[in-house]
A and B are shown apart, each in its own frame.
Chain A
Amino acid sequence: MFYEFLYMRDTPQWFIQLLIGVAICLTARWGFTTLVYIADGLFIIILVSIIFLIVMLSGDAEFQMMSALFTHIDIRRVPYNVVNILCWIGEWFVFLFMTPQFSFDKRMLRNLLLANALVILAVLFTWMLVILNFGPHYGSQLKYPILQLIRSTSFTGLVGNADPIFIGLWITSMLVHDAFLVYVGVSCMGRLFKIEEHKPLITLLMGTVTVTAFQYTRNPTIYQKVESEPGFIVFWMIINGIPVYYLLLSTIRSRLGSRKG
């Protein structure tokens, strides 16, 4: 939505959603292995661009503000804020739905751990730079702070004019992310309805998702509500946690079973 508003104001919403929907659909149809290869290739580019961003933007940052991170801690608000953010960043939880399909050895677990640590550091540093550059009061007024951060560097510099490149990279990673989500959804659907063929399911799911997105753009206020109301957030958290319940139940069952037997 923001890309369209900033750069392509006259293009209708449905067309952009159609484009993105078709792109995600095609990416998901290629299968999980292809997805992993795509992510692998993008990784270096995205890592280099994140490092570049962090280095360029730490010039203007007010590092004295870091002491405020400690003086402003309010323990009572921490659980509420954690749950709020978890709903956004915790989308990676859906990976748990896929775990039965893979065999895990030590190397894979170690790589996963490193990848997660890297993601945590990258996200943390980027958002720290946002707050160090803009301060909490102005920063909270911005709808797209990272975009403004990039655009606020000087006109003559490379970074200030290059914001479409960063947006392009971001959209590519978003495509891979969404394709992965679709793939997970489709494997669950396949197992549920005992359908072997994944491809028509992908088209079906993507079609539903695109139409839902289109409905939301016609009613932006409802979308805002969905993003922030606690009821919805708890709902997403419960859905995301389904594999964990299975794990708990199976542990309990096996314990009870071993006691009986």
Chain B
Amino acid sequence: MRCWKRLLHAIMCAGLLLQTGCWSKVEVDEELFVLALFVDKGEKPGTVEVTISSPLPNRMMSGQPASGGSSGKSYTMVTRTDLTLPDTIRSIQKDLTRRINFGHTREIVVGRDYAKDGIADLLDWIHMEPSLHISTFLTTAPGKAKEVAKLTPVYEQLPSEVLRKMMMQHTLFSTKLKESLIARFSKVGYATNLMYMTEAPLESDDDSSQQWAGIQGAAVYQEDRLSGTLPLREARALAWGSGTLGKQVYTVYWDEGKSHASVLFTSFDAHRKVNMTKQGPQFTIYLQATGNMVNRMDAKHRNATEMTQLVTDLLNKKAVEELESAINMTQDMRADALKLGLLLEWKYPGYWDRDGRQVGASDLPWHSGALEHLLRIS
């Protein structure tokens, strides 16, 4: 009798366990993995245009080039327009044979016009959509985001791979959705990479003209609206101040341009502090970098110690200049790209509640402080 009882229990347990796949079985073949999302302003006012980029596994074979060729591209895009984002996604889904899966979305590109009006709807949808990771990268397109989707992947297989790996190079910014969500709710700003598209003949494709995408600067947001853009120099300084800058080369000139030296910085660091003075809050930004000299041309052939000192001083000046220019520009745009408002909120909440929020932390006085550079001459 005992062993019958045990057998019965075992069968019941097995029955329960085996049923776990009955309802939520997900076949990989029935899913469409969206790798990148491109959001634009629709043609009619009040509408939004969404383009999804996804791979075509049936056309992907290892070792075959992806672009052009007789077998066709191994990725595709679908575009639809509707009043709201969820509606647009649904209208994309209804024309597809597979279920859309956002679990692998790595990259979201917003069009410039859409960003100017505010990406609050996009952020709200992302907040509610559970399968989207908030570590997805966010970039801004120079015009329509759909145009960026048309880039030709040369070194990679898919355009979304190109965008993702570009972000991971840490050239300027690698803004994640997490940052923009926090900025939206905490009422500060942030910056993303600003792409550019050119047509250029590529050697690898029979000299036919193809679309090439790159980074041209920074797009600065305040809360959820695009406030303006920064050119490369200032974008670099802002990225340094935010602590997201990767390897960079800085060149300095002296002796009326006859001598120059280039330093490759490998690590960047930035600290921000706030102090309350009688005139209001005073922000101090400390920048620090470590690098190696990679090139020098000295008209007067100074010795190494003198050179190091000279180059360090010149680099200090250059970094301060660039950061000052960047901050002036963001102040003109009324955007708090370095999140200095948060510092105020943490240290002086009374002031932030009374004055800071209306002013937006962008009109407040600041000064950029000490810089230290450590150079190793190689």
Question: Taking beta carbons and an 8 Å cutoff, which residues of A are in contact with B?
Answer: 5-12, 15, 18-19, 22, 62, 64-65, 67-68, 71-72, 134-135, 137-138, 141, 148, 151-156, 160
Contact = CB atoms under 8 A, between A and B. Distances in A.
B97 interface: no
A68 B349 contact: yes
A154 to B, nearest CB: 6
B182 interface: yes
Interface size class of B (residues with CB under 8 A): 20 to 34
Contacts of A138: 181-182, 184-186
Q: Give the dominant DSSP class at A's interface.
A: helix
Contacts of B24: 7-11
B222 to A, nearest CB: 15
B49 to A, nearest CB: 26
Contacts of A62: 342
Contacts of B346: 64-65, 67-68, 71
B233 interface: no
A71 B106 CA distance: 38
User: Top 3 nearest A-B pairs by Cβ distance?
Assistant: A68-B346, A137-B185, A8-B24
A15 B23 contact: yes
Contacts of A152: 133-135, 176, 178
Contacts, number: 71
A155 B107 CA distance: 11
A42 to B, nearest CB: 21
Interface in B324-378: 342-343, 345-349
Given A8-B23, A137-B182, A151 B134 contact: yes
Given A11-B20, A135-B342, 15 more contacts: A5-B130, A10-B24, A19-B20, A64-B272, A67-B347, A68-B345, A68-B346, A68-B347, A134-B178, A138-B181, A138-B186, A152-B176, A152-B178, A155-B106, A160-B135
Given A68-B349, A71-B349, A72-B349, A6 B186 contact: no
A173 B184 CA distance: 35
B182 A155 contact: no
B131 interface: yes
Interface in B174-228: 176, 178, 181-182, 184-187
B127 interface: yes
B218 to A, nearest CB: 21
Contacts of B303: none
Give the interface centre of B24, B130, B345 by most chain A CB atoms within 10 Å.
B130
Contacts of B16: 18-19, 22
B58 interface: no
27 contacts: A8-B24, A11-B23, A11-B24, A12-B23, A15-B23, A22-B16, A64-B272, A64-B343, A65-B342, A68-B347, A68-B349, A71-B348, A134-B178, A135-B186, A137-B182, A137-B185, A138-B181, A138-B184, A138-B185, A138-B186, A151-B134, A152-B133, A152-B135, A152-B176, A155-B133, A156-B168, A160-B135
A138 B342 CA distance: 13
B21 to A, nearest CB: 9
Contacts of B176: 152
Q: Give the dominant DSSP class at B's interface.
A: helix
Contacts of A68: 345-347, 349
B44 to A, nearest CB: 31
Nearest to B343: A64
B253 to A, nearest CB: 37
B135 A155 contact: yes
Contacts of A148: 134
Contacts of B185: 135, 137-138, 141
B342 A71 contact: no
A135 B135 contact: no
A130 to B, nearest CB: 12
Contacts of B343: 64
B70 interface: no
A152 B19 CA distance: 32
A39 B347 CA distance: 42
Nearest to B348: A71
A12 B23 CA distance: 8
A126 B19 CA distance: 35
A160 B136 CA distance: 12
Contacts of A65: 342, 346
A72 B349 CA distance: 7
Give the interface centre of A5, A71, A135, A148 by most chain B CB atoms within 10 Å.
A135
A81 to B, nearest CB: 17
Nearest to A154: B135
Nearest to B17: A19
A134 B177 CA distance: 12
Contacts of A154: 135
Nearest to B135: A152
A141 B184 CA distance: 12
